[in-house]
Amino acid sequence: MARHTSPVVQVVAIGIGAALFFVLGRFASIPTPIPNTTINIQYAILAVFAVLYGPLAGLLIGIIGHVLIDATGFGIWVSWEAASAVFGLVVGLVMLRNRIHEGEFPVSTAVRFNVAVVVGHAIAWLLIAPLGDILIYGEPADKVFTQGVFAFVSNALTAGILGTIILAIYARTRTRTGSLTVEP
């Protein structure tokens, strides 16, 4: 659980995050020439929620949101749903002990966030999704690794850029620790 976050807040954040992930993934994805692969902005929201509410929230938002997308469109595709969940988990774990809630988002935290996004997407789209497609669905390796590489690059870029912007704006809305003083 993220620091200073009650279980009720966690559940609400998971619900809102999964709903946003679903809506953006279902209605705001950008088609590409690669079959069944789109440019997705919902991973920026997933990354932000994983940073703000922790790795469990990231995992659950990723899996619930992706299952909803697949169930209303393409059919359940376990390997890609698992990849989304792992991405949320990895970002949440790497970003534990940040001070964004306290209004601090220094360059070092932005760099750590972007490293988390790249590592999370690499694990998700270069390992879990393609290997799952091969092992579970018998998909051809060249097809799924092509999809995985494209998903890795496009998702890492969109999540890194948009997520950094969202977190920077969010941090600016928070009162910095020690910024208030009591007048005598």
Burial of 98 (0-12, 13-18, 19+ CB in 10 A): buried
**Tens-digit pLDDT profile for residues 117-162:** 999 999 999 999 999 999 999 999 999 999 999 999 999 999 999 9
Instruction: Name the nearest CA neighbour of 70 among 55, 89, 85, 56.
Output: 85
pLDDT of residue 183 exceeding 80, the answer is no
Nearest CA to 91 out of 131, 130, 118 is that of: 118
Asked if 78 and 136 touch (Cβ cutoff 8 Å), the reply is yes
Categorize the per-residue pLDDT at 168 as very low, low, confident or very high, splitting at 50, 70 and 90.
Answer: very high
Q: How far apart are CA 164 and CA 150, in angstroms?
A: 21
For position 34, what pLDDT does the model report? 85
pTM, 2 dp: 0.90
Q: Please answer whether residues 110 and 159 qualify as being in contact, where contact means their C-beta atoms are separated by less than 8 angstroms.
A: no
Residue 178 has pLDDT above 70, yes or no: no
Q: Of 2, 121, 23, give the one whose Cα is nearest residue 66.
A: 23
**Residue 43 burial (C-beta neighbours within 10 Å; 0-12, 13-18, 19+):** buried
- Residue range 33-49, pLDDT digits in tens: 888 888 899 999 999 99
Q: Which domains are delineated in the chain?
A: 7-173 (1.10.1760.20)
Average pLDDT over residues 6-33: 94
Confidence label for 73 from pLDDT (cuts 50, 70 and 90)? confident
Give the model's confidence band at 182: pLDDT under 50 very low, under 70 low, under 90 confident, else very high: low
Q: Identify the pLDDT of residue 1.
A: 46
Q: How confident is the model at residue 52 (pLDDT cuts 50, 70, 90)?
A: very high
